């Protein structure tokens, strides 16, 4: 099967307008997609049509990572996701919506039925089917990188494969205008895991999707690189206390600041433990693993010296290095060690960035954020460390400096791992960031600890 990129310039697909209810919550989204010969709009329409009719999933960008989408109400379409990704069938999928109206419709399949069950409701108005605990999170972070766990109604229209046998499901309204437009045009809730092959790093650019899934899917809607770079935070308010099941774009601190969420606990483990029952089913699998050996240096650890390089690679080889706050690559071979510690040139203080819904700013705000997203391939720096140094070691060093800023590190980390892997390096040394700098940093370290085969902690 041929896989094609369908590029879309989101600024040129038509008009967006929105209906906001109280607190800026996205209740409805109106889009008029350009009916003329604008190629982007035509691409968007054909991707939406494929979601409606085909059993082969469609890859599309979200603000976190690329998703691999299918109609969440059609089993044959949802099975197509598991097949393309080779994902274990017991790992449930997140369902993406374009508006609260669409989510409520799914939770309340028939309003007659809802009114019978809730017979005591006056004025014929049924209550909000979204549990009240989620209201503050929704008004603050949606659309955005937050997934909430909801009870799956007994007469749910969701295909059973979406929930993998659980009685609840993950729901998210993404912030990427292209994702919102696609879901709106398809007019279906869209089940979508990250669009990588199972166990590989999540894709943050259309090329990453193609690298993993070429020949397995037909359409990659190409909206450029993703803004956040790590997947959504998964939370549940159905347990007491509420739990974060996967760290991501929204931090524990930000969640605890919401009424009813003050006692939220961390419900995930940093390193998968074989005998513990994971609360988010996906957390038990090996993840985010490039082909090269990944060596993670926890924050504050010195960069690899000649001895560690020799132990990992032998006398020569191709070395990838991902630097964040302190590591710098020495350009002078006679310096002895290949790396040095120091402050990053790209900034001094690491900032614990917070991501809040930019919905207030409307789509212009969302598009503005997207345009700031850098491309990892453009920052890849190749240094030839020749064989002149005293130890007779000869390495080619490929460096990706992500900068000191945590949100830049999150945005670039998956891309950097993939880019180095594609360059054929034998090992990738990663300079870790400090978990305490907020959950985006914790999310990055959570992914890196899963990807790393070797961890340098002391
Ligand atoms: O940012 C994201 O969330 C991206 C984009 C595409 O939206 N999606 C994503 O999906 O990362 P996926 O399938 O790669 O990861 C979903 C995570 C898994 O860890 C899964 O186990 C968990 O969410 N999850 C899904 N449904 C769940 C449920 N009902 N209960 C607990 N965890 C659930
Ligand atoms: Mg994934």
pLDDT mean values, one per 10 residues, the chain (458 residues): 92 74 64 77 95 98 97 98 94 95 89 46 69 94 95 96 96 93 96 95 94 96 92 97 93 93 90 46 64 91 84 87 83 47 37 35 47 51 52 78 90 91 92 88 92 78
Q: Which residue, among 422, 424, 405, has the nearest Cα to 414 in the 3D structure?
A: 422
User: pTM here?
Assistant: 0.83
Ligand 1 atom nearest the C-alpha of 163 is 29
- Token duo for residue 314: 């032998």
What is d(CA 280, CA 191) in angstroms, rounded to the nearest whole number?
A: 16
Question: pLDDT value at position 345?
Answer: 35
100 phi and psi angles, rounded to 5 deg:
-65, -30
Question: pLDDT value at position 69?
Answer: 98
What is d(CA 133, CA 76) in angstroms, rounded to the nearest whole number?
A: 34
Question: pLDDT value at position 339?
Answer: 54
- Count CB atoms within 10 A of the CB of residue 393: 21
What is d(CA 45, CA 386) in angstroms, rounded to the nearest whole number?
A: 52
Pocket test for ligand 1, best of 89, 91, 147 (most atoms within 8 A of CB): 147
Question: pLDDT value at position 114?
Answer: 45
Ligand nearest to the CA of 66: 1
Question: pLDDT value at position 438?
Answer: 80
Ligand nearest to the CA of 92: 1
Q: Is 171 helix (H, G, I), strand (E, B) or coil?
A: strand
Pocket test for ligand 1, best of 182, 231, 248, 355 (most atoms within 8 A of CB): 231
Question: pLDDT value at position 414?
Answer: 92
What is d(CA 3, CA 148) in angstroms, rounded to the nearest whole number?
A: 32
Count helices and strands in the chain by DSSP H and E runs: 14, 21
- CB of 232 within 6 A of ligand 1: the answer is yes
Contact in structure between 24 and 359 (CB atoms under 8 Å): yes
């Amino acid at each position: 099967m041929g896989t094609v990129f369908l590029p879309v310039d989101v600024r040129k697909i038509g008009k967006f307008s929105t209906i906001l209810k109280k607190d800026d919550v996205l209740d409805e989204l109106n889009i008029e997609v350009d009916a003329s010969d604008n190629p982007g709009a035509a691409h968007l329409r054909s991707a939406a049509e494929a979601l409606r009719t085909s059993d082969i999933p469609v890859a599309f960008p979200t603000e976190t990572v690329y998703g691999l989408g299918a109609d969440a109400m059609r089993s044959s379409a949802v099975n197509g996701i598991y097949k393309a990704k080779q994902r274990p069938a017991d790992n449930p999928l997140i369902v993406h919506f374009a508006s609260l109206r669409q989510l409520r419709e799914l939770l309340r399949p028939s309003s007659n039925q809802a009114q019978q069950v809730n017979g005591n409701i006056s004025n014929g108005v049924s209550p909000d089917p979204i549990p009240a605990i989620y209201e503050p999170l929704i008004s603050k972070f949606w659309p955005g990188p937050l997934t909430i766990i909801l009870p799956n109604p007994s007469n749910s229209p969701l295909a059973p494969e979406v929930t993998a046998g659980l009685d609840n499901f993950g729901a998210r309204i993404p912030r990427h205008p292209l994702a919102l437009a696609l879901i709106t045009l398809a007019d279906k809730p869209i089940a979508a895991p990250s669009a990588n092959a199972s166990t590989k790093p999540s894709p943050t650019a259309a090329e990453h999707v193609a690298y993993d899934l070429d020949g397995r899917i037909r359409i990659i809607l190409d909206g450029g690189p993703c803004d956040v770079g790590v997947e959504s935070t998964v939370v549940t308010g159905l347990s007491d206390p509420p739990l974060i099941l996967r760290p991501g774009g929204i931090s524990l601190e930000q969640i605890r600041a919401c009424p009813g969420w003050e006692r939220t606990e961390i419900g995930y483990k940093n390193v998968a433990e074989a005998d513990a029952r994971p609360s988010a089913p996906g957390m038990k699998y090996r993840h985010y693993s490039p082909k090269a050996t990944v060596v993670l240096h926890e924050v504050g650890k010195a960069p690899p010296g000649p001895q560690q390089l020799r132990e990992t690679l032998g006398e020569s080889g191709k070395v990838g290095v991902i630097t964040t706050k302190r590591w710098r690559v020495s350009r002078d071979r006679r310096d002895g060690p290949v790396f040095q510690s120091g402050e990053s040139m790209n900034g001094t203080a690491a900032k614990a960035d917070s991501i809040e819904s930019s919905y207030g700013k409307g789509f212009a705000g969302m598009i503005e954020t997207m345009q700031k997203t850098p491309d990892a391939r453009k920052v890849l720096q190749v240094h030839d460390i020749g064989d002149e140094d005293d130890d007779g070691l000869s390495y080619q060093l490929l460096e990706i400096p992500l900068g000191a800023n945590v949100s830049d590190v999150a945005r670039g980390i998956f891309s950097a791992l993939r880019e180095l892997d594609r360059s054929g390096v034998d090992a990738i040394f990663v300079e870790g960031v400090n978990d305490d700098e907020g959950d985006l940093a914790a999310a990055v370290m959570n992914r890196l600890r899963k990807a790393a085969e070797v961890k340098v902690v002391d």
